């Protein structure tokens, strides 16, 4: 168990408010934890609204909202809660024919019984794909940190993984290694034209498959199962194809855009083709020129025949660094892009979920006139403080993996993170740890924002922990097995 904050050796100015803010955040965090079967199981999405407004499902334990919660608990050495969360979620993995293998978006204990939502209760009745993909990642990070090999190799965990892989590794009409999903299938759970192969889902698929391989390898050590061997080979091949596909079709820099703009179109037949999605040069948006400048790069939001989505999605890109999907030089190109576009991406409240927002006619058509996803609001260009720690994790992990690479750039990234941390520290308590912020500068608390949102609170605590307390704990987020323990 880690020492409580007050006893840790911190680089704190004694007069600063930092200590008070962190202690208050820790207290709020403790209040978010709820029980299942009498034991702490994870956190609700938001603490009750202080003005007692309608709660919707923010009182439930969302799998995605608990990603930072579990990361934080692992850093604090509170393994019991993480294991219980994993077990309860696994028990709730669907076993009905049409959804077999799917993990719930959220669950809650009501009158002693667990009730799970697979999308049948949510607004728009959406199934979250990301919840299922996160489970093996969290499971592997837990096993790696706690060294609970017995849990990893248990029959129920191994069976859960196989059920999940059945959902992903099968022939499809598209014949590509990506997972096709409907609109709203991940953190962006309202219509935003993110159907098809959205970046966040594909990057999570990559992290998920890598974690499944690690967990299967552990079981393979003490079993002679030929089926397991075959599954492992197939999963590794899929991973390899998926990474190649994403790097080829999603990664853009100023150089690649110039190639894209000059490719032939309407190429028929099986001969050598350069434009397999038949993308017309006209779809490349003009804002990309300044956005990328000379040395920036990022993964675009989606690739669909004739219609790539060039929007920048913060979470998909930062996860691509954490999971090692993009190479080290590509990660640094991404960091340059973030620095160059800092006024957009960070502004007053780090960091923007997706850029640029859809406006006017496009907003009307693509969101179905959704007032919550109004331009510069919520998922449509809004600012989510909960996203900053992922970027902090990506930068610090990069530093640990490549300590001598581009000291100037990494120094600038560090300085930027530091300022972002201070801007959260100064604003979030006053703004009641709001869920999201609106407007081009992200200054205003989101119009329909919940307050005391768990991942805002715990995201701040994680950023604090990584920047101030134990930077080396960022290794915990590394899915590579080489740093066991």
Report the alpha-carbon distance of residue 138 to residue 151 in Å, rounded.
Answer: 13
Task: Report whether 463 contacts 425 (CB < 8 A).
Answer: no
Q: Least distance to ligand GLC from the beta carbon of 231, Å?
A: 31
Q: Which is nearer to ligand GLC, 63 or 215 (CB)?
A: 63
Among 25, 187, 410, 413, binds ligand GLC (CB under 6 A): 187
Report the alpha-carbon distance of residue 85 to residue 63 in Å, rounded.
Answer: 9
Give the bridge partners for 355, in sequence order.
312
Q: How far is CA 2 from CA 8, 9, 54, 106, 108, in A?
A: 9, 12, 37, 29, 29
Task: Report whether 169 contacts 213 (CB < 8 A).
Answer: no
Among 117, 183, 189, 370, binds ligand GLC (CB under 6 A): 189
Q: Which is nearer to ligand GLC, 65 or 193 (CB)?
A: 65
Q: Least distance to ligand GLC from the beta carbon of 128, Å?
A: 8
Number of residues engaging ligand GLC in binding (CB under 6 A): 7
Q: Which is nearer to ligand GLC, 62 or 437 (CB)?
A: 62
Q: Least distance to ligand GLC from the beta carbon of 62, Å?
A: 5
Q: Which is nearer to ligand GLC, 128 or 235 (CB)?
A: 128
Q: Which is nearer to ligand GLC, 251 or 363 (CB)?
A: 363
Q: Which is nearer to ligand GLC, 158 or 456 (CB)?
A: 456
130 binds ligand GLC (CB under 6 A): no
CB atoms under 10 Å from CB of 125, counted, come to 10
Contact string 48-67 vs ligand GLC (x = CB under 6 A): ----------x---x-xx--
| Residues whose CB falls within 8 Å of the CB of residue 346, separated by 6 or more in sequence, listed in order | 352, 416, 420, 423
Q: Least distance to ligand GLC from the beta carbon of 70, Å?
A: 14
Contact string 370-399 vs ligand GLC (x = CB under 6 A): ------------------------------
Q: Least distance to ligand GLC from the beta carbon of 434, Å?
A: 12
Q: Which is nearer to ligand GLC, 187 or 216 (CB)?
A: 187
Q: Which is nearer to ligand GLC, 59 or 440 (CB)?
A: 59
Q: Least distance to ligand GLC from the beta carbon of 421, Å?
A: 22
Report the alpha-carbon distance of residue 450 to residue 448 in Å, rounded.
Answer: 7
Angle at the Cα of 336 from the Cα atoms of 333 and 342, rounded to 5 degrees: 140
Note the residues at the interface with ligand GLC (CB under 6 A).
45, 58, 62, 64-65, 187, 189
């Amino acid at each position: 168990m880690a020492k409580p904050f007050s006893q840790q050796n911190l680089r704190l100015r004694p007069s600063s408010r930092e200590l008070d803010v962190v202690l208050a955040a820790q207290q709020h965090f403790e209040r978010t934890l709820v029980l299942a079967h009498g034991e702490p199981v994870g956190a609700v999405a938001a603490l009750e609204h202080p003005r007692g407004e309608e709660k919707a499902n923010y009182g439930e334990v969302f799998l995605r909202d608990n990603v930072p919660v579990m990361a934080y608990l692992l850093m604090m050495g509170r393994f019991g809660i993480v294991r219980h969360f994993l077990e309860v979620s696994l028990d709730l993995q669907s076993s009905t024919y049409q959804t077999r293998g799917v993990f719930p978006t959220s669950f809650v204990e009501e009158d002693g019984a667990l009730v799970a939502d697979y999308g049948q209760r949510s607004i728009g009745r959406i199934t979250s794909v990301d919840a299922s993909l996160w489970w093996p990642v969290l499971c592997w990070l837990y096993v790696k940190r706690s060294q609970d090999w017995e849990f990893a190799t248990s029959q129920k965990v191994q069976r859960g993984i196989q059920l999940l892989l059945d959902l992903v590794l099968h022939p499809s009409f598209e014949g590509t290694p990506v997972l096709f999903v409907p609109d709203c299938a991940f953190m962006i759970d309202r219509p935003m034209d993110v159907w098809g192969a959205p970046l966040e889902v594909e990057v999570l698929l990559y992290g998920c498959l890598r974690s499944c391989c690690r967990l299967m390898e552990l079981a393979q050590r003490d079993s002679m199962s030929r089926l397991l061997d075959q599954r492992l080979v197939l999963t590794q091949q899929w991973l390899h194809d998926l990474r190649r596909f994403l790097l080829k079709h999603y990664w853009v820099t100023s150089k690649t855009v110039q190639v894209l703009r000059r490719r032939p179109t309407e190429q028929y037949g099986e001969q050598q083709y350069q434009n397999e999605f038949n993308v017309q040069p006209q779809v490349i948006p003009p804002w990309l020129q300044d956005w990328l400048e000379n040395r920036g790069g990022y993964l675009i939001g989606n690739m669909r025949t004739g219609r790539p989505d060039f929007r920048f999605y913060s979470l998909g890109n930062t996860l691509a660094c954490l999971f090692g999907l993009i190479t080290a030089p590509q990660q640094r190109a991404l960091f340059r892009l973030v620095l160059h576009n800092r006024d957009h991406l960070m502004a007053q409240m780090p960091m923007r979920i997706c850029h640029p927002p859809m406006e006017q006619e496009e907003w009307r058509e693509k969101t179905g006139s959704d007032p919550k996803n109004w331009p510069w609001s919520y998922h449509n260009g809004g600012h989510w403080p909960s996203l900053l720690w992922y970027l902090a994790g990506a930068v610090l992990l990069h530093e640990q993996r490549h300590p001598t690479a581009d000291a100037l750039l990494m120094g600038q990234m560090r300085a930027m993170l530091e300022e972002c941390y201070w801007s959260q520290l100064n604003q979030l308590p006053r703004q009641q740890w709001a869920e999201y912020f609106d407007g081009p500068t992200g200054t205003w608390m989101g119009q329909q924002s919940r307050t005391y949102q768990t991942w805002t609170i715990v995201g701040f605590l994680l950023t604090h922990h990584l920047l101030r307390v134990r930077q080396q704990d960022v290794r915990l987020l590394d899915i590579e097995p080489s740093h066991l323990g």
